[in-house]
Amino acid sequence: MKVLVPVKRVLDYNVKPRVKADGSGVDLANVKMSMNPFDEIAIEEAVRLKEKGPVTEVVVVTIGVAKAESDVLLTARAMGADRAILIQTDDEIEPLGVAKLLAKVVEEEQPNLVILGKQAIDDDSNQTGQMLAALLGWSQGTFASKVELGDDRVKVTREIDGGLETVDLKLPAIVTTDLRLNEPRYATLPNIMKAKSKPVAKKTVADYGVDVSPRLTTLKVAEPPKRQAGIKVADVDALVEKLKGMGVAK
Ligand code: AMP
């Protein structure tokens, strides 16, 4: 069985984003970039499924800049992915465009399962997995906190408002990862060294012949408003009075 894991290279989650002076977007010049955290969870799950047995190959794919080969794709291979595909572009492609490219990769690679992150932490779209499922006509189990893979079906426990829902899907299927699915392993230095010899196929967007032109125009990106300084109240009675004044307490 083959698992395909799409990963996105994003601003590292520890870095405080800086908005460009003209408000056109987030400044990515000279800042640390890493694998989207939900995608690390996706790789970890795919590698665990391989370690357990039913899966024989884990293929990772990213659509992004050339540098991804030596950072996120190397990390993914060091974590246990067998090989990588880089679809190189300097453009920021919207989720529908990404889903169309991934659908072509699926056509070529014929995986039994695609595991994506539930969302990329830069655009917070939470769209690509669902769109890919729709384009392929495949079943989907989103926001997975548990994945149990059988011969021709996969059981996915989903984190939904107020509880858990378990769905039983026919393979091939799409799964998107939630935070509690697993704790991803670190890519150790020896594994990073070994991963350098695992193959990376280099492609361009043009190789796939799909329309990835943008449909949205970003009008403005702004920093969140600065928090106002708080005030100190003398005692609990004063606090309750204040809350009443704000309509928070009766
Ligand atoms: P989004 O719909 O943008 O929130 O992204 C959801 C998931 O789609 C991510 O966690 C990745 O697994 C995948 N994805 C999004 N953008 C890319 C990309 N440029 N290359 C590969 N995978 C991507």
Asked if residue 200 lies in contact with residue 71, where contact means CB atoms within 8 angstroms, the answer is: no
| pLDDT reported for residue 225 | 86
pLDDT tens readout for residues 86-99: 999 999 999 999 99
- Phi-psi domain of 162 (left: phi exceeds 0; alpha: psi -120 through 50; beta: other): left
The response to whether residue 63 sits with its C-beta less than 6 Å from ligand 1 reads yes
The response to whether residue 39 sits with its C-beta less than 6 Å from ligand 1 reads yes
The response to whether residue 178 sits with its C-beta less than 6 Å from ligand 1 reads no
Report the nearest-CA residue for atom 6 of ligand 1. Answer: 119
- The single-letter DSSP state of residue 16 is P
- Give 29: exposed, middle or buried? Use CB within 10 Å, 0-12, 13-18, 19+: exposed
| pLDDT reported for residue 226 | 86
Q: Show the low-confidence residues of the chain (pLDDT under 70).
A: none
Provide the Cα torsion 26, 27, 31, 36; round to 10°. Answer: 20
Which residues, 6 or more positions from 17, have their beta carbon under 8 angstroms from its beta carbon? Answer: 11, 26, 27
| pLDDT reported for residue 94 | 96
| pLDDT reported for residue 197 | 97
The chain-wide mean pLDDT, for the chain, equals: 95
Could you give all domains of the chain from N- to C-terminal order, each with its CATH number? 2-245 (3.40.50.620)
| pLDDT reported for residue 53 | 83
pLDDT tens readout for residues 74-132: 999 999 999 999 999 999 999 999 999 999 999 999 999 999 999 999 989 999 999 99
| pLDDT reported for residue 228 | 87
- 8 CA distance to ligand 1 centroid (A)? 5
Model pTM? 0.91
Asked if residue 41 lies in contact with residue 117, where contact means CB atoms within 8 angstroms, the answer is: yes
The response to whether residue 36 sits with its C-beta less than 6 Å from ligand 1 reads yes
Pocket test for ligand 1, best of 4, 8, 9 (most atoms within 8 A of CB): 8
Q: How far apart are the first and last CA of the chain?
A: 61
The response to whether residue 9 sits with its C-beta less than 6 Å from ligand 1 reads no
